[in-house]
Amino acid sequence: MKVIMSLLFFDTAFWFYLATMILYIGYWIFKKEWLGQTATVLAMISTFAIFMMLIFRTKESGHAPFSNLYESMSFFVWMISIAYLIMEFKYKIKVAGAFVMAIAFIAMVATSMLPYRFQDIEPLNPALQSIWFELHVFSAFIGYAGFGLAFGLGLMYLIKARFEERKLSNFMIDRFPSSAILDELSYKSVAWGFIFFTLGALILGAVWANKAWGTYWSWDPKETWSLITWFIYAAYLHARVTRGWRGKKAAYVVIFGFLSTIFLYWGVSFVLPGLHAYATR
In the chain (281 residues long), the average pLDDT of successive 10-residue segments reads 80 97 97 96 98 92 85 95 97 96 97 73 74 92 97 97 89 93 97 97 91 84 92 97 91 97 84 57 52
DSSP 8-state code for residue 120: P
For the chain, the domain total comes to: 2
Q: Is residue 209 part of a domain?
A: yes
Residue 110 sits in the same domain as residue 136: no
Amino acid (1-letter code) at residue 70: Y
Residue 273 sits in the same domain as residue 137: yes
Task: Give the Å distances, CA to CA, from 263 to 202, 257, 260.
Answer: 17, 10, 5
CA 206 to chain centre: 22
Residue range(s) defining the domain that contains residue 22: 1-116
Residue 90 sits in the same domain as residue 199: no
Q: Is residue 84 part of a domain?
A: yes
Residue 38 sits in the same domain as residue 137: no
Q: Which of 60, 52, 102 is nearest to 78 (CA)?
A: 52
Q: What is the pLDDT of residue 42?
A: 98
Residue 69 sits in the same domain as residue 190: no
Residue 199 sits in the same domain as residue 273: yes
Residue 25 sits in the same domain as residue 86: yes
Cβ burial of 23 (10 Å; 0-12, 13-18, 19+) is buried
Residue 273 sits in the same domain as residue 148: yes
CB 105 within 8 A of CB 18: yes
Q: What is the pLDDT of residue 152?
A: 98
Cβ burial of 154 (10 Å; 0-12, 13-18, 19+) is buried
- How far, in Å, CA of 36 to CA of 92, rounded? 11
Task: Give the Å distances, CA to CA, from 144 to 72, 126, 170, 198, 262.
Answer: 11, 25, 32, 11, 9
